[in-house]
Copies of this chain bind each other. A is one copy, B any other.
Amino acid sequence: MRDVYAIGVGITSFSRLDYPLTEIACYPALMAMKDCGIHKIDHVYVANMGASRLNRQTGLASAVVDSLSLTPAGAEAIENGPASGASAIKQGFMAVASGMNDVVMVIGAERMREVNNLDATDFVATLSHPLAEYIYGVTLPALAGMFTRLYMEKYGVTERHLAMVAVKNHANALLNPFAHLRQPITLAGILDSPEAMTNNPYVAEPLRFFDCCPVSDGGACIILACADVAKKLKKPLVRLAGVGQATDTLAVHERVSPTDLTAVKLSSQKAFRMAGREPSDVSVAELHDAFTILEIVESEEVGFFEKGAGHLALERGETQIGGRLPINTSGGLKAKGHPVGATGVGQAHEIVLQLRGEAGKRQVKNARVGFTCNFGGFGNNVVSLVFVRE
């Protein structure tokens, strides 16, 4: 297989965007082409989860390739729930690695503002088991709430640890001009004050409002290319060195241990193996913190910390910017936002900036190896990526 490089990136604000889905997809693509100076694209992948239902649009990839005047380049949409973005990056990786294409554009885009928060919650719940979960009214916050309670009982995680994830990621988002929730929060304000129960009510106990990511619109783009193309450019070289994916049972209750996220563990192991790197080599990571508990658990399953020790590393400040392993420097899904189909591409965007030294005020010093974990379903289909600065 050929080496694959991330040569260009672009992103929209993750927020409420007042333009059509096709444009949400095209804007970061234009930024990414400008970023690398390459305008000849062999193929386009578009990661998206909800266009058919939320936007009454199908064939989104065909619309995007036309709007960008890239016809007759081929194009497809990739759907893997909230992990659609990293799944699409994986397709782009294979297209370049196989020799089918030299330059592949991977876009993630979602426009969720069509629906209110209740409908958005129902829409996202359609990724659960249709007959064993969805028809009983289970939502993602509900699944995450039950998961969190079990985790607390087993490993000593507290509501304070959850809130610490939110405070950290909101602080990071303040340094990211593209983040959705650029709002400073404090433990005092969301947990300890008399107003906390009003400011930060329970959504699905023990998860509160500030433990849940927002519903966002947004788009992101990454352009992948073979070495011949990448090595002619002036930007620092970032190689997509490892790609791993694993699935788990669709229904959470069918898992041997409901507090294990086995697909996170397996997919990251595969990605590290392909990259020839270890978790301890990672300088900066974007984890899928749709709920605060997930950042803690993923940081363990990926191998950054021992099982049950993620919240202790968090307490010690190891995952802050300036700590041993900064996690979610972008603000994460929690504060940067979660336009579902775009999220995985947005994670890769942050890592490329970090490895190039272009992350501005949130820059991690000497970042050489970056990692992303994009989590589909409630952990039933996970894609992990390892990026290396060459």
Residues of chain A having any CB pair with chain B under 8 Å: 1, 20-22, 49-50, 52-53, 55-63, 65-67, 70-81, 84, 87, 90-91, 94-95, 97-100, 123-124, 126-127, 129-131, 134, 245-251, 262-263, 266, 376-377, 380-381, 383
Contact = CB atoms under 8 A, between A and B. Distances in A.
A71 B129 contact: no
B80 A20 contact: no
Given A49-B52, A72-B266, A66 B247 contact: yes
Chain A binding surface SS class: mixed
A235 to B, nearest CB: 26
Given A87-B76, A126-B52, A130-B57, A62 B247 contact: yes
Contacts of A249: 66, 71
A49 B53 CA distance: 11
Given A49-B52, A53-B53, 5 more contacts: A52-B52, A59-B376, A62-B81, A62-B377, A78-B78
7 contacts: A59-B377, A62-B380, A65-B381, A71-B263, A74-B245, A76-B91, A98-B99
Given A20-B130, A130-B22, A80 B62 contact: yes
Contacts of A67: 250
Contacts of A62: 80-81, 127, 247, 250, 376-377, 380-381
A342 to B, nearest CB: 15
A48 to B, nearest CB: 8
Contacts of A91: 76, 91, 94
Contacts of A247: 62, 65-66, 70-75
Contacts of A262: 72
Contacts of A70: 247
A269 to B, nearest CB: 10
A76 B79 contact: yes
B50 A58 contact: yes
Q: Which 3 residue pairs across A and B have the least CB separation, nearest first?
A: A98-B98, A74-B245, A59-B127
A380 to B, nearest CB: 5
Contact of A50 (B52, B95, B245, B266): B52
A125 to B, nearest CB: 9
Nearest to A71: B247
A82 to B, nearest CB: 9
A302 to B, nearest CB: 15
Contacts of A74: 90, 245-247, 381, 383
A272 B55 CA distance: 37
A100 B95 CA distance: 11
Contacts of A94: 91, 94-95, 98, 100
Contacts of A49: 52, 58
A77 B79 contact: yes
Contacts of A376: 59, 62
Contacts of A248: 66, 71-72
